[in-house]
Amino acid sequence: MDFQNRAGSKPGAGALMSQSESNVARRERLRKLALETIDIKNDPYFMRNHLGSYECKLCLTLHNNEGSYLAHTQGKKHQTNLARRLALEARDQESPGFVPGAARSQGTAPKVRKNVVKIGRPGYKVTKIRDPSTRQFGLLFEVTYPEVTEETKPRHRFMSAYEQHVEPPNRQYQYLLFAAEPYETVAFKVQSREIDMRQGRFWSYWDMDTRTFTLQFFFRNQTRSYGSQTAVPGHATGANAVVPAGYPAQQNAGSYYIPPAQQTGYQ
């Protein structure tokens, strides 16, 4: 039996190659094979970084030398990603309105969020309102953004007192936030009551001509009882008071009393 020329054995030795030596030989064979089929200078996925090492822009892998990169191009991961990229480009070419060289520039390309320099707080106006028919208390917000672009639309959301870290949390209040770049996000502190989200009770509008974002909402009414006495029109104990069944509706909403303690948080 020939112990010297066996498959996997080193010339001049009788033992088989170790695992590390076998990996080195395999990478060397792959490198030589890649040199015959790939021009590394024209490879669009080959990149040398500022540290002197090499990167594959398709697979996002890091390599210490060109041989390691060439061996990677013959591996399963690189070949799979390359097949996916070719299939994706072929699908884009079949789609209507395809422009050569700009296949990934529209629709599917992710948008990179740019760092925007804030220019200050927007102007705002807050108005207390009340519906004379339902006696619901509400607020009208008008926030002005004169420097926003035409593509920008202000956004808003309600935030719990436990989400913010500016003040100690107080479950009696919640925050209404308005945001639009390049302005800072502003928040208004309102009572933590249920918002009436029905159609016509909660609405918002963005006026592009005046650059003013308007939002209006009403709180849902809640009946309060103190002992055996129920809140009635003309003797209301707070903004939550409503007209119980059997009482006539009061037309003069101006005589509806709101204690100062109930008005805090709306200014």
DSSP class per residue in 7-54: TTBPTT-SSBPPHHHHHHHHHHHHHHHHHHH--GGG-TTEEE-TTS-E
pLDDT of residue 251: 37
The CB density around residue 110, as the number of other CB atoms within 10 Å, is 6
pLDDT of residue 94: 78
How does pLDDT run across 136-167, given as a tens digit for each residue? 999 999 999 998 888 889 999 998 888 888 88
Low-confidence ranges of the chain (pLDDT < 50): 1, 103, 105-108, 225-267
How does pLDDT run across 222-265, given as a tens digit for each residue? 765 444 444 444 444 444 444 344 444 333 333 333 344 433 34
pLDDT of residue 144: 93
pLDDT of residue 111: 55
pLDDT of residue 145: 93
pLDDT of residue 166: 86
- List of residues 6+ apart from 140 with CB closer than 8 A: 126, 127, 128, 129, 214, 215, 216
Which phi and psi angles does 193 have, rounded to 5°?
A: -120, 160
pTM of model > 0.85: no
> How far is it, in rounded angstroms, from Cα 267 to Cα 262?
11
208-225 burial, b at 16+ Cβ within 10 Å, e below that, comes to eeebbbbbbbbbbbeeee
pLDDT of residue 12: 60
> How far is it, in rounded angstroms, from Cα 70 to Cα 66?
6
pLDDT of residue 46: 87
Distances (CA, A) of 64 to 38, 71, 94, 121, 197: 18, 12, 39, 50, 60
pLDDT of residue 110: 52
- DSSP strand pairing (173-179 vs 195-196): unpaired
